[in-house]
Structure 1
Amino acid sequence: MTLLAFGINHKTAPVKIRERVAFCPEKLPEALQELSAHNGVSEAAILSTCNRTELYCGLDDSDPEAVLSWFRKFHGLDAKEVDPYIYTHPDRMAVRHMLRVASGLDSLVLGEPQILGQMKSAYSTAHDAGTIGRKLNRLFQHTFLVAKQVRTDTAIGASPVSVAFAAVSLSRQIYSDLSEHTALLIGAGETIELVARHLYENGIRQIVVANRTVEKAHALAAEFGGYAIALNEIPAHLAEADIVISSTGSQLPILGKGMVESAVKARKHRPVLMVDIAVPRDIEPEVGELDDIYLYTVDDLQEIIDEGLRSRQEAAQQAEEIIETQVAHFMGWMRSLQAVATIRSYRGRSEAMRDEVLEHAMRQLRAGHDTEEVITELARQLTNKLTHEPCVQMKQAGYEGRLELLDTARELFNLKIPEDNL
């Protein structure tokens, strides 16, 4: 069987193409059933995210082009529309590709962890649809273990590489235990949503979201067990916040020096971390002059992000080494399957010989023959039966000069032959 991984991703296709080949969750089981019923396809799984759509298949005799043809037909696309964006990876390349994807090495953000969860969901859906067989099942399980090893043995996901991640990493450096602190997030856009998610995952005690549109702030805050306020309510709540992170589109500062100074007094000078990731700035620069206020801007975070990228790139090199080793292990397992039929046949014949000799020995014992003589004869007969055919074949190989077969026999039976006998 041939393994095949193919599809498109953020590197090969623009979003207008990625949208057209995405599989919606409701239709995914149907698509899997249809694909696995395709002539020559024995196993199938589909991974479909906003950044990639990939199909992982086990093929018996089918030409990969036949599977690509099904893919085009399912989405109603001509070859010229989608083929320039498609990559195909057979066998060993397919294994390497899946390991790299699951480990975050092929992601838009190097080392991001979400893709592993998405791949596990793809496996679960295919398993429930009954389209996962022995080989893809083993490959997915191997993939999950390798991704875990990469996370454990390298720092691929440890360093911040986004503004939101960097802001939360800074919070963790200043407040080691976020479960004892409250965060005020100003704005309700994508960046603040990511900040809220990171804070929530790191155990923040309370999240307060302030936004011009309170309904939008409420929707975001509710997702993380927090509460929402309007921008004009910030002065009444600012003293509660140990962490303030702001990212709005305002053209004028939202937090001035006077407002923050009043909050510091109300807090009895307990320190506050403020991170302004807005352009133009949401927090007046003079706020940074106040005692007990630690103010960082987007430029300060950029240094953290650049260092994080360097750290992840170094970790990625280590991850690639792990993956190469694990690809070899999986391909070794695949090759070992080719020996299964031969091993089964050999064991079956050996067991038949054993049963024949054993039955003869049991008759001898029942007839009252000496036990020691019976056992000795059993061992002699079994040895002769097991070695007769291999010895005949090796003699014939020697006669015909097929020395490579003799070398194989020595390796197969782990024979140590003195050099003077060779």
Structure 2
Amino acid sequence: ANHLCRVAAGLDSLVLGEPQILGQVTDAYQAAVDRGALGPVLDQMFRAAIYAGKRSRNETAISNNPASISSIAIALAQEKLPDMARRSFLIIGLGEMGKLTLKALQARGIQQISLLNRNHQRARSIAQATGCTAFALHELPRALAQADIVISATAAPHFIIHRDHLAAIVRQLPSRPRVLIDLAIPRDIDPATADLPGIHLYDLDALRANLDTALAARGREIPLVEAIIDQELAILEAAWHQLAIRPVISDLRQKAEAIRQQELSRTLRHLREVDPHTLSQIQHLSRALVNKILHEPTIRLKQCAANGQADDYAATVRELFGLAVPHIE
């Protein structure tokens, strides 16, 4: 239970505070529920973990700072060009990093996204599936001229974007700011482009420094998240103890109901004709008496069970009321 809560809260996920993991735990829980694969113990455990995950994200900053290279890249671009929804993006390279960047941009509602890949057919296929625009490699100058933010992540052994490429574009619109983010090793973008007017260039070293800062900030939230998990585990433990007392409460009520029906039948045999209304009133009275008598003991049993005394009290109640001990195979 502790491990599941830590995973859902983002403490034991691959990236500290990763927001997607809570959705994955929730989906797994729902799939198990749909297939009838969860008993009451596992059901309560998953519910506790999901609630701990939600509380951790709502009450702490464990997921607040971007903590992936693609998220950091977008955050840096947003610092320089805040009105992201109006900006046009160009993603160069559609390997794993390029696809993660595309996914992160579209998750933020960005719509003006162009794709450029050495394999133009791959770019066209992904663009068609995601509502983007595809450029061929020879169209790089035109694609660069249209873009406010360029994110490059190819496997090329040399620069893809040279200073001369951008110098000509900058001369046409010298006042237009542009952000270039180089996610490639070796670099895709000539570092000399950084001295051009309006150009803001970030490479992997800059992104990793920001990533370390973000993860350190998330790390400071760990004690707060662990406190939330401890609270939810304590509630879960109490619920599990109450779960253990349920069978004896059920057996006690069944025995009381059997006695009620037996005594009611015996009484009715000694009465002369009873009209339906009177019979209904007698039935209601007998049920009310049973419920009133058992209400306080039921509450007390649940309270004692929550304090970890379920087994002792269950055994005592079974002994006092002559309830059968359930057979465990």
Q: TM-score, normalised by structure 1?
A: 0.59
Decide whether aligned partners of structure 1 residues 126 and 345 sit closer, same or farther in structure 2, where only a CA change above 3 A counts: closer
Give the unaligned 5+ runs of structure 1.
1-94, 361-381, 391-404, 406-422
Structure 2 equivalent of residue 286 of structure 1:
192
Output one character per residue of 1:367-411: Cα deviation in whole Å (capped at 9) or x when no partner.
xxxxxxxxxxxxxxx9xx96xxx9xxxxxxxxxxxxxx9xxxxxx
Structure 2 equivalent of residue 108 of structure 1:
14
Structure 1 equivalent of residue 215 of structure 2:
309
How far did residue 290 of structure 1 move?
Answer: 1.1
How far did residue 209 of structure 1 move?
Answer: 1.1
Q: Which has the higher strand share?
A: 1
2:98 to 192, 199, 208: 192
Residues 1:128 and 2:49 are matched in the alignment: no
How many Å separate the matches in 1 of 2:165 and 2:156? 17
How far did residue 345 of structure 1 move?
Answer: 5.6
How far did residue 282 of structure 1 move?
Answer: 1.4
* Identical counterparts, % of pairs: 38
Q: What CA RMSD, in Å, does the superposition of the two structures yield over aligned residues?
A: 3.3
Structure 2 equivalent of residue 297 of structure 1:
203
1:149 to 51, 55, 63: 55
Output one character per residue of 1:44-67: Cα deviation in whole Å (capped at 9) or x when no partner.
xxxxxxxxxxxxxxxxxxxxxxxx
SS of equivalent residue, structure 2 residue 221: helix
Decide whether aligned partners of structure 1 residues 121 and 188 sit closer, same or farther in structure 2, where only a CA change above 3 A counts: same
Q: TM-score, normalised by structure 2?
A: 0.74
Structure 2 equivalent of residue 205 of structure 1:
111
How many Å separate the matches in 2 of 1:219 and 1:156? 36
Partner amino acid, structure 2, of 1:269: S
How far did residue 140 of structure 1 move?
Answer: 2.0
SS of equivalent residue, structure 1 residue 200: helix
Partner amino acid, structure 1, of 2:14: L
Residues 1:264 and 2:170 are matched in the alignment: yes
Partner amino acid, structure 2, of 1:273: V
SS of equivalent residue, structure 1 residue 333: helix
How far did residue 181 of structure 1 move?
Answer: 1.1
Residues 1:340 and 2:238 are matched in the alignment: no
Structure 1 equivalent of residue 158 of structure 2:
252
SS of equivalent residue, structure 1 residue 338: helix
- Contact 1:239 1:266 (C-alpha < 8 Å) held by counterparts: no
How many Å separate the matches in 1 of 2:223 and 2:137? 46
Partner amino acid, structure 2, of 1:228: A
How many Å separate the matches in 1 of 2:41 and 2:172? 64
How many Å separate the matches in 2 of 1:205 and 1:269? 24
Partner amino acid, structure 1, of 2:195: E
Output one character per residue of 1:246-276: Cα deviation in whole Å (capped at 9) or x when no partner.
1112222221222212223444522111111
- Contact 1:186 1:244 (C-alpha < 8 Å) held by counterparts: yes
Correspondence list, 1:16-415, <5 A: 95-267=1-173, 269-344=175-250
Higher relative contact order (CA 8 A, sep 6+): 2
How far did residue 348 of structure 1 move?
Answer: 6.8
How many Å separate the matches in 1 of 2:31 and 2:256? 43
- Contact 1:242 1:271 (C-alpha < 8 Å) held by counterparts: yes
How far did residue 154 of structure 1 move?
Answer: 1.7
- Contact 2:193 2:201 (C-alpha < 8 Å) held by counterparts: yes
- Contact 1:178 1:205 (C-alpha < 8 Å) held by counterparts: no
- Contact 2:48 2:233 (C-alpha < 8 Å) held by counterparts: no
Q: Which has the higher helix share?
A: 2
How far did residue 334 of structure 1 move?
Answer: 0.6
Partner amino acid, structure 1, of 2:7: V
Give aligned pairs, total.
279
Partner amino acid, structure 1, of 2:220: E
- Contact 1:96 1:327 (C-alpha < 8 Å) held by counterparts: yes
How many Å separate the matches in 2 of 1:119 and 1:147? 9
- Contact 2:174 2:197 (C-alpha < 8 Å) held by counterparts: no
